[in-house]
Amino acid sequence: MESIWSQLCHIPQRPPLPGGLHTEVAVIGAGLAGILTAFALQQAGHRVVVLEARRIASGQSRNTTAKVTSQHGLLYDRLIRRLGEDKAGQYAQANQRALEAYRQLIAAQGIRCDWQECPAYVYGSRAEPLQAEADAAARLGLPASFVQQVPLPFPTAGAVLFAHQAQCNPLLLLRALAEPLTIYEQTPVQHVEGGRLETPRGTVQAEHIVFACHFPFVDLPGAFFSRMHQERSYVLALEGAAPLAGMLIGSGEDSYSFRSYGDLLLLGGGAHRAGRNPQGGRYDLLRQKAREWFPGSREVACWSAQDCITPDSVPYIGRYAADRPHWYVATGFQKWGMTHSMAAAQLLTGLIGGKEPPYASLFAPSRPALSALPGLAAEGGQAVRGLAKRFLQIPAESAQSIPPGHGGAVLLEGEKVGVYKAEDGSLYPVDLRCPHLGCQLEWNPDERSWDCPCHGSRFDRFGRLLSGPAMEDICHG
């Protein structure tokens, strides 16, 4: 299940780390946040290397819908009420400046990434909250207004319109920005101690370390696992649907997202907390909506994405922890990774260069949490002991209830084991205990993966690690 960006854009391979080295800044993760940060640091005269566990943009950057906007759902009215107008204004301006920074960067570097200026809309079924959001955003200096006309094929009560926003092809952008950077692929960072980053390919010694790897994998200090969770959402690319004049997203819980790319329409939705999709059917739901709203359209691709969610809807960008002054982190972008990645690049470049931007405290990872998420103590209740990893023979009769092409739990020697049953009946056992902090993994029928409901680690159907914070596979045998 590849996104259209993956299908359309090839990024040249880079070599792994050739051995130990010293650098001024090591950036962990070659997704958009890591690459933008490395690019900005290099432009500011710093010596930077990027260490990537797999390939450039092999994580969420290839799955984003790439809406470049300071409109982040219905957020600003809530932010003003929770944080006050000053802080809400800082959030608004950091993201609006990020949009402008993209324009300048793309123009200055001559990057061809199908950048397209267009309005952004949040639509809804009740006018009142939309009106309140439009007023709040306008008060913060954003180009916002309430409109009744919404370019969608179904009725709404109106929308919040943000003028002069943009969309692009994220991989074309990332490929161009990556070109002048020193990036080592297939170089997973396994351990970080002070300024030492240990990888199977050698050790890197750095004065500053930036964790831009989606979910920071060092649990302590920082304890990001206790104040962040992950959500998945799904996308279809449709051919033969009339293009929409703008980017749109719904304001409700079961909202849908729309944007055009050339002749294609991207329809997104079906969001759920990672690891909580036991029945599946998210793609089917989108297909049903596509038939209803865009009759005659044809699906040409489908894929899904995963986002880190913070309790106060503000990302964690800044120093990793008080006792690690030279470690930095950029995570918790909610579903708005495009502008947050750019804001992170600017903020972290300022911090590393000794110029702390005035809005740094808003994004500081050390800020007090509004409300703690269920963390290790609560989620740990779901943990199972798990059989020691070894070759397991699963009797066929114990997996009888699992249909071919699906996964499920079976009892073996009195303990639960995960099993994927291939179409030909072969069984692939996995450890159901998440190697991160031990929560019980759940089968996700839409992606045919094992997902963790606690902090969102994912493994493919055979048990190979797809994304962290876990750092190892769960395969048996």
Residues of this chain that bind ligand FES (CB under 6 A): 225, 434, 436-439, 452, 454-457, 469-470
According to DSSP, the β-strands at 48-51 and 67-68 are unpaired
Cβ nearer to ligand FES, comparing 50 with 437: 437
By C-beta, is 176 or 466 nearer to ligand FES?
A: 466
Q: Which is nearer to ligand FES, 341 or 457 (CB)?
A: 457
Joined together, the tokens standing for residue 390 give 């070894």
CB-wise, 56 or 470, nearer to ligand FES?
Answer: 470
Task: Supply the minimum distance, in Å, between the C-beta of residue 411 and ligand FES.
Answer: 22
Smallest gap from Cβ 469 to ligand FES, in A, equals 5
User: How far is residue 197 CA from its own chain's centroid?
Assistant: 24
> Across-strand partners of 209?
26, 327
Q: For residues 303-326, b (16+ Cβ closer than 10 Å) or e, as one string? A: bbbbbbbbebbbbbbbbbbeebeb
Q: What DSSP assignment string belongs to 354-407? A: T---TTHHHH-TTSPPSSPPP-HHHHGGG----PPSS-----GGGGTTSPTTEE
- CA distances from residue 51 to 27, 48, 189, 369 in whole angstroms, order as listed: 6, 10, 7, 30
As measured in angstroms, the least distance from the Cβ of 476 to ligand FES is 18
Least Cβ distance, residue 439 to ligand FES (angstroms): 4
Using the minimum distance from each CB to ligand FES, give the nearer residue, 94 or 465: 465
The answer to whether residues 119 and 162 touch, using CB atoms and an 8 Å cutoff, is: yes
Question: Is residue 267 helix, strand or coil?
Answer: strand
Q: What proportions of the chain, in percent to the nearest 5, are helix, strand and coil? A: 25, 30, 45
| Comparison of 85 and 219: residue with beta carbon closer to ligand FES | 219
**Closest CB 420 distance from ligand FES, rounded Å:** 18
Stretch (H or E) spanning 251: none
At closest approach, how far in Å is the CB of 193 from ligand FES?
21
